[in-house]
Amino acid sequence: MALNRKIAYIDLSTGKVETKPIPLEVRKKFLGGRGLDAYLLFNHTEKGIDPLGPKNTLMVSAGILTATCASATARTHIMAKSPLTDLLGSANMGGFFAPELAWAGFHHLVIKGKAEKPIYLWIHNGEIELRDASQLWGKTTTETQWAIREELGDEDIKSAVIGPAGENLVRIANVMTGIKNAAGRSGMGAVMGSKNLKAIAVRGTMDIKIAYPLEALEYNKRFIDQIVSAKVNQTQGTLGTPFIWGATNSWGGIRTRNFQYNQCEYADDIEPERIDEICTETMGPYHMTGCFGCQVHCRAQYRIPSGPYAGKYDEGPEYTSQGAFGGEPDCKNAVTVLTGNHLVDQWGMDNLETGSLISWAMELSEEGILTSKDIDGLDLRFGNDEALLEMIRRIAFREGWLGDTLAEGGIRAAEKIGKDSFEYLIQVKGMSNLHSDERATPALALGIATGSRGSDHLRSRPAIDLYHLPEEVLRKIYSNPVPYDGPLSSEHTSYVGKPWQVLWQELCYMGVDCLGICKYHTTFLGATLPNFEDWAKVIYYNTGLEITPTDIWTVAERCYNIERLFNLREGLTRDDPKKGDTLNHRYFDEPCRRGAPDVIGSKIDRKKFKKMIDEYYEHHGWDENGVPREETLKRLGLDKEPSHLL
């Protein structure tokens, strides 16, 4: 069964590998995936270590449901101390890697130390081998994966790899698998690079026993029917995540020119329908693909239609790339978006960070904070597509002063650039914000401000807040599995009840990440999708583990608190503009200039925002500084951490 999957400790400095079973007691406390990773991170790193030094520990994991007969259990979680934020580093990717890791006998890898020379890990049916990777060093993400398959003579091998950016210790480098699946955020690729770890290759043909196979099969069918019947997933399955762009841009929720406007005008060429047209023209009518076992199939396939990379195959682009290489730098050209997306995929960098940092530099250049000497002669102004693409390359290869500077990530770059460059940097805890504009949506603003890995839309985003659902519907969603009788508001511009929604979504996403499933299969963009109650059944049918929806909620709380403890240990304080639960001052000071009538003029109210944070802490059982109270830790069984159960 899935619960007999093992954990492996791999010391790259000594080459020593140790495998252990994961005790049931630990499973019950942390389930698996991100939650157990967080526990391992807290237990296997010391305070204040250099994220790019040998003392950082890298966790790679599958969820508790991965490769069982549950829907879309494709997600891999990766965790370490972040070289970008110096806080929690945490990233999650789809594809086919995690299930293959499970069939190969493992659910969790704890990787320590640093290899003397480039190596890769070969994990096959319970065996782990360190192999020379000198012939792979310098290769792009896909070249690396295909070369490993050729070397080992098996086309079914799945690998999680870094590209040149990870090798170059670019602090926004990601870990990738397949064509475009990326554990994008918080610089996990640089951590692999710092350990001389080019790739983790897995292949398995071991059985995962299903506790109740027929029940699991039937429940999976029901689950899938529920998931594909949601309109939002049907649209995802046709247009992919770019579909979000259309509505969001029309009401004024897309940042453009860094933070100057909240709507991207005259951008027909990067609208979802146009991108879909290119996918159809280059890949035919059936150009959607998906991750393991998923019936949403939200990933488009395309070939770049023209330009220097014409004919190159890639997948996506996601909504994130539309913003990062389209809206934010004001380059409203589909070919630019598709090319930018391809370059970061090949070189292994977070698309969101890359586009955001370049757009920031464009604004600094416009403001005269960066001079032409700083940017090595590049005409780095908004709307210059060529400069954007060239800058991507310079960051990946740390070329020129600015390329090398931006490769350090926003906060370090701001320190190097100096003047008031930091004031223009749209970040939380050192992570760049998604190109969405949250000034008209306090719930979303609170979500990014408090996210445990820094600014992020996949930690807590009450996105359904935008649908103006009736209060009774909201109450039905948000008072399960634990009761909530406080206020709730259907108004997306309101500050009422939002802290609870943020906390609820936070724990819902933590649950998803522990299970190893995708967020499109839960209450994220669709209000009718499964959550805690359904998960309890899925876990039982597949693994035999008896767990209630409330138990899963408590596990999620426990795991979220461990992440909080890690961040506090590494220096998080409530109001620190670089490490706190706060937003760039422009959210409070600059009103929205475009969009729907009720959006124009919107900005976040400082006082109300502070009150939201207070309420949010209170819901969590944290004190006014955001530190978990002793009774909270006791209730969650975290009062004796680190407890070294694994």
Site residues for other proteins per CB under 8 A: 67-69, 96, 103, 142, 146, 155, 178-179, 205-210, 213, 216-217, 220-221, 224, 228, 283-284, 286-295, 297, 301, 313, 315
Which lies closer to other proteins via its Cβ, residue 46 or residue 313?
313
Which lies closer to other proteins via its Cβ, residue 447 or residue 530?
530
CB of residue 232 to other proteins, shortest distance in Å: 15
Which lies closer to other proteins via its Cβ, residue 210 or residue 358?
210
CB of residue 561 to other proteins, shortest distance in Å: 32
Do residues 155 and 140 lie in contact, with contact meaning Cβ atoms separated by under 8 Å? no
Strand 431-432 to 313-315 pairing: unpaired
| Per-residue burial over 208-227, b = 16 or more CB atoms within 10 Å of its CB, e = otherwise | bebbeeeebeebbeebbebb
Which lies closer to other proteins via its Cβ, residue 61 or residue 194?
61
CB of residue 458 to other proteins, shortest distance in Å: 21
Closest to 314 measured CA to CA, from 332, 350, 287, 286: 287
In what helix (H) or strand (E) does residue 19 lie, and over which residues does it extend?
strand 16-21
Three-state SS letters, 122-153: EEECCEEEEEECCCCCCCCHHHHHHHHHHHHC
CB of residue 224 to other proteins, shortest distance in Å: 7
Alpha helices in 230-302 (DSSP H): 231-239, 243-251, 272-283
CB of residue 119 to other proteins, shortest distance in Å: 24
- Amino acid at site 618: E
Do residues 558 and 511 lie in contact, with contact meaning Cβ atoms separated by under 8 Å? no
Measure CA 589 to chain center.
28
Q: With 0-12 CB in 10 A as exposed, 13-18 as middle and 19+ as buried, what is 17? A: middle
Region of 570 (left: φ > 0; alpha: ψ -120 to 50; beta: rest) is: alpha
Q: Name residues whose C-beta falls within 8 Å of residue 468's C-beta, 6 or more positions apart in sequence.
A: 490, 491, 492
The token pair at 605 is 């109210």
Which lies closer to other proteins via its Cβ, residue 71 or residue 505?
71
Quote the DSSP letter at residue 285: S
Asked if omega into 164 is within 30° of 0 (cis), the reply is no
Rounded CA-CA distance 391/380 in Å is 9
Rounded CA-CA distance 110/123 in Å is 13
Which lies closer to other proteins via its Cβ, residue 288 or residue 464?
288
Do residues 595 and 262 lie in contact, with contact meaning Cβ atoms separated by under 8 Å? yes
Rounded CA-CA distance 414/402 in Å is 11
Which lies closer to other proteins via its Cβ, residue 96 or residue 484?
96
Rounded CA-CA distance 159/155 in Å is 11
Q: Name residues whose C-beta falls within 8 Å of residue 554's C-beta, 6 or more positions apart in sequence.
A: 636
Which lies closer to other proteins via its Cβ, residue 321 or residue 346?
346
Which lies closer to other proteins via its Cβ, residue 146 or residue 401?
146
Which lies closer to other proteins via its Cβ, residue 178 or residue 628?
178
- Amino acid at site 480: N
DSSP assignment string, 43-69 = HH--TT--TTSTT--EEEEE-TTTTSS
CB of residue 336 to other proteins, shortest distance in Å: 21
Rounded CA-CA distance 15/114 in Å is 9
CA atoms within 13 A on the CB side of 209: 5
Give strand pairing partners of 173: 349
CB of residue 120 to other proteins, shortest distance in Å: 19
CB of residue 542 to other proteins, shortest distance in Å: 9
CB of residue 219 to other proteins, shortest distance in Å: 12
Which lies closer to other proteins via its Cβ, residue 255 or residue 297?
297
Which lies closer to other proteins via its Cβ, residue 520 or residue 622?
520
Which lies closer to other proteins via its Cβ, residue 13 or residue 205?
205
CB of residue 523 to other proteins, shortest distance in Å: 21
CB of residue 96 to other proteins, shortest distance in Å: 7
The token pair at 620 is 């969590």
Asked if omega into 329 is within 30° of 0 (cis), the reply is no
CB of residue 355 to other proteins, shortest distance in Å: 24
CB of residue 98 to other proteins, shortest distance in Å: 13
CB of residue 271 to other proteins, shortest distance in Å: 23
Which lies closer to other proteins via its Cβ, residue 275 or residue 402?
275
Rounded CA-CA distance 84/183 in Å is 14
Which lies closer to other proteins via its Cβ, residue 146 or residue 309?
146
CB of residue 612 to other proteins, shortest distance in Å: 40
Three-state SS letters, 615-637: HHHHHHCECCCCCECHHHHHHCC
